[in-house]
Structure 1
C-alpha cells in the first residue's frame, strides 16, 4: 500500500512540475508578434488568414461523419447474428434503424440537407 501511495504522489508531483515548467516557458512565446501571425513565405499576408467557410459544408461534413460512424456500428451486428437470439437481434437492428431514420427525418425537416437556400 505504501508503494502505491508513493507512486501516486510521485506521478502527481511530476505532472505538476511539468505543468509549471510548460506555463513558464509559454509566457515568453505569447508576446511574440511574429509567432502569432500567419506565415506566408516571410511576407505579410495579402488577405485575412481566417477565411470564413460555408456552414452548409460543415453540416454536410458532420452528417457524413455521423453516418460513417453508424456504418461502423452496424457492421459488427452482422457478426453477432450467429451468437445472439434472433428476436433480440431483430429488435436491436429495428431500433437502431428507426433511430437513424428519425434523425435523418429531423435533419430533413430542419433544412440541414438543403445545400442552396
Structure 2
C-alpha cells in the first residue's frame, strides 16, 4: 500500500471467547511494536466455512504484508500453509514470525 507495512489482525471468536477484547488489544500492540499499520481485525466464528481460505482472500484483497494473531490456536494449532505462502504470520503468544519460506525451512531442518 504505502511505505509503512500493513497488517490485518485475525482471531476466532470461539477461541478468544471472553478474552476477545484483550486479544484485540494484544494484536494492536504487536502491530505497533513491529511497525505495521493495522488495517482491520478479521473475526470469524466456529461456523465460518473455510476460515483460512477466507482470510487469504482478505489478505490478497487488501494487499497486506502480514497477519497478526493471538496464537496458533486460532488456526487449530497449525501454521496455515496457504496463508504463510501469501504473507507473513505473527503470533503474540508465543511471539513468533512465520515467513513465506516457513515450509521450505521446516523441510530443510526436518522439523
1 or 2 for the larger relative contact order (CA 8 Å, sep ≥6)? 2
Structure with a larger share of its residues in helix: 1
TM-score of the superposition, structure 1-length normalised?
0.21
Greater strand proportion? 2
Normalised by the size of structure 2, how large is the TM-score? 0.22
Larger Rg: 1
